[in-house]
Amino acid sequence: MAGKKKEGVAGLKGTSGGLRRDDRLASSKSIFDMITIDARNAMTVIYMLQSPEDNIVLKAVASLEIYGERSEANLQLLSSLGILQFLLPLVRVSDTVIKRFSQKLIGLLCSLEEFREQMFKLDDVLVTFVDILEKRVYLRLEPDVVMHEFSALTLAELTKECEGASKLLKIDNCIPTLFLRITSSDPDIANHLLNDVFGIEHFIKCPYFDITRVLALVSSGYPAIQMLAIEVLLQLLSWHRDNTILFAFRDARGIESALEIMEKEEWSDLHTLALDLLTNVVDSTDLCESLLQTGCLVRFINLLETVDSGPFIEKILGVLGRMAQTQKGRMALHKLEAIPKFCYYLNARVDVVLQSCCMGLANMAQYALSLDSIVAENPFPQMLDILINGENDLDLRNTAAFALSVLATEERRVAEILLNLEKFETLYDILNDNNKSYPKELCSNIIQIFTGISAYEYLRTEIVTENFLIALINCIMSDGDSLGRGSSLEVDALECLCGYLTDQKAQFLFNKLGGPKKVFHCMKSRFAAVRDWAGQLVTVTSQNKDFVKAFIKIGGLDRQVVPVSHTCSIPLFV
């Protein structure tokens, strides 16, 4: 993960070891008079960095650091003058103050993209700063926390780029060193290191992996560190590919830590982030069970009725919606009557809230005891409105379509209600759009609603009209040319047609609308899945004489077609 843009070290006034940073660096005025730098003499001062006399080097580097810290334009000037080649050797000298000023200035310069590019051209440049964190370059009885801080800043800036992140992870001692220093007594070191990249696979597989170190920083007294620690955890948990990181989070009492954050009013700015952590893990059966054991679900449900904060409600619904992906979560939510809450917030105007509610209802439909409650609440008109409203975000519309398809498949009464809604036929218009302005995924999700309804025989007769079949036919190939919306849409449409063309009324209308010709072209598709489903459709309609005649007449038994779908041609002669 790349670090965020920092505002500069000078803006941080944390303390370490009882000393403010201002004391640790000491005022340069107590050592010497500063050099006034401008564009005319900047190069001259840079050349002074090569002086054999430490006092001259110190005066120059301190003046350059102060000059660079004043503005980004000053940093850009120093970068363009090639200061890197003069500055980098100074982090290895014996003089502590020179090293500190040099390392700090490098960290500031690394906020510039062009300076980072210069750094990446050097061999093993990141090794230098990792070694500083590990104390390899210089031997001291006590670690130099100032150098650690500025080295961490440099690494955080360099890992804004993927190249920097990749190079950092290739250093053998990188992750162990980051773990070692992330618990530094200096808050600024922890702050910068949390901005450094954490490669997920490298991070988890490292023998030094210990998520408790990151969790400990969540309770830090420094808000910036707390937020960054949670951000690192969010990144880890959102990218988990197996249970390793989830179980590590659970065993380190990560769920309890998130709940403890929410108990503290003084940490109110972290409450929504804590809910984000829970959202990322509760779709795991094991972690959902751990959350349920804390008894917090009752509180979450009650908060939906008492809290006015929009963001807070949004996050709670996100947690509940993800919990409903597990069987235990669905059972617990049903017991606590969460379905009316999902339905109530379908009247909200926030996309994320609406998505969570739609997905929550779709998941709850997989628990049979919840279906009566969902039907009684009748959220389907609102969900259909969300789907057909062209001003809504596409992700939201897709979620609503998916939820309706699941609900219609799981419960006959839902399919009946949908068919009786005045706006239901608007879905045909979306599929019939001649400008093809609707994305494939949205059209596929709408077709899945129709496929769900096809499971009920008496409803098939009711839904089948010319407009309905035209909408499906428009989603498959026309005169051998694809509509350009992808083979998966054609497969969905063909599969859906197979469910309806078992009825004589549908077969008659399909033949009337030129359906056999469309199927013939699908059988010549370059996509195997399209050819296979076209063959299935021929099999389904093979007892209809009009279809057989039309199919053979247009060349359905030609050599170019039959070898591809020979299995479907057999029923034509039965």
Which residue did the predictor score with more confidence, 480 or 469?
A: 469
Span 31-44, pLDDT tens digits: 456 788 888 888 99
Q: State the average pLDDT for the chain.
A: 80
pLDDT at residue 391, rounded to an integer:
92
- Model confidence at 146, in pLDDT bands (50, 70, 90)? confident
pLDDT score, position 13: 30
Average pLDDT of the segment spanning 127-150? 63
- Do 469 and 511 form a contact (C-beta atoms < 8 A)? no
The proportion of the chain whose per-residue pLDDT surpasses 70, expressed as a percent, equals: 77
pLDDT recorded at residue 197: 47
Per the model's pLDDT, the better-predicted residue between 370 and 141 turns out to be 370
pLDDT score, position 366: 92
Max mean pLDDT range (245-254, 301-310, 410-419): 410-419
- The yes-or-no verdict on residue 5 having pLDDT over 50 is no
Write down the pLDDT at residue 481.
Answer: 42
Asked, colleague to colleague, whether 1-201 and 432-574 share their fold, the answer is yes
How confident is the model at residue 187, as a pLDDT? 54
Q: How confident is the model at residue 106 (pLDDT cuts 50, 70, 90)?
A: confident
Q: How far apart are CA 350 and CA 313, in angstroms?
A: 11
Contact 150, 9 (CB under 8 A): yes
Instruction: Locate 460 and state its tokens.
Output: 């098939």
pLDDT for residue 492: 94
Choose between 524 and 173: higher pLDDT. Answer: 524
Please tell me the predicted confidence (pLDDT) of residue 386.
96
Distance of CA 322 to the CA centre of its chain: 14
Is the pLDDT assigned to residue 72 strictly greater than 70?
yes
CATH number of 432-574: 1.25.10.10
Contact yes or no for 299/332 (Cβ under 8 A): no
CATH topology of domain 285-424: Leucine-rich Repeat Variant (1.25.10)
Instruction: Domain ranges for the chain, please list them.
Output: 1-201, 210-281, 285-424, 432-574
Residue 30 has pLDDT above 60, yes or no: no
Look at the block and give the residue holding tokens 């026309």.
Answer: 478
Structure confidence by residue, pLDDT tens digits, 381-433:
999 999 999 999 999 999 999 999 999 999 999 999 999 999 999 999 999 87
Pinpoint the alpha helices (H) of 370-439.
371-377, 380-388, 394-410, 412-419, 426-431
Tokens, residue 281: 């893990």
Kindly indicate the confidence band of residue 434, based on its pLDDT and cuts at 50, 70 and 90: low
At the top level of CATH, which class does the domain 1-201 belong to? mainly alpha
Residue 57 has pLDDT above 70, yes or no: yes
pLDDT classification of 453: cutoffs 50, 70, 90: very high
State residue 88's pLDDT score. Answer: 85
Residue 193: predicted pLDDT? 46
Q: Please say if the pLDDT value at position 566 is more than 50.
A: no
Q: How far apart (Å, rounded) are the C-alpha atoms in residues 132 and 143?
A: 10
The per-residue pLDDT for range 168-227, each reduced to its tens digit, is 666 666 666 665 555 555 555 445 545 544 445 556 666 666 788 788 888 777 787 788
- The kind and range of the H/E element at 16 are strand 15-16
Residues making up the chain, counted from first to last: 574
Instruction: Give yes or no for a contact between 291 and 255, defined as CB atoms under 8 angstroms apart.
Output: yes
Confidence (pTM): 0.69
Whether the CB-CB separation of 363 and 324 falls below 8 Å is answered with yes
d(CA 298, CA 253): 20
3-state percent breakdown (helix, strand, coil) of the chain, nearest 5: 70, 0, 30
Partnered with residue 16 across adjacent β-strands are 19
Q: What is the pLDDT of residue 319?
A: 94
Q: Chain-centre distance of CA 378, in angstroms?
A: 31
pLDDT computed for residue 137 by the predictor: 37
Average pLDDT over residues 263-291: 88
397-398-400 Cα angle (round to 5): 65
Interval 471-494 mean pLDDT: 72
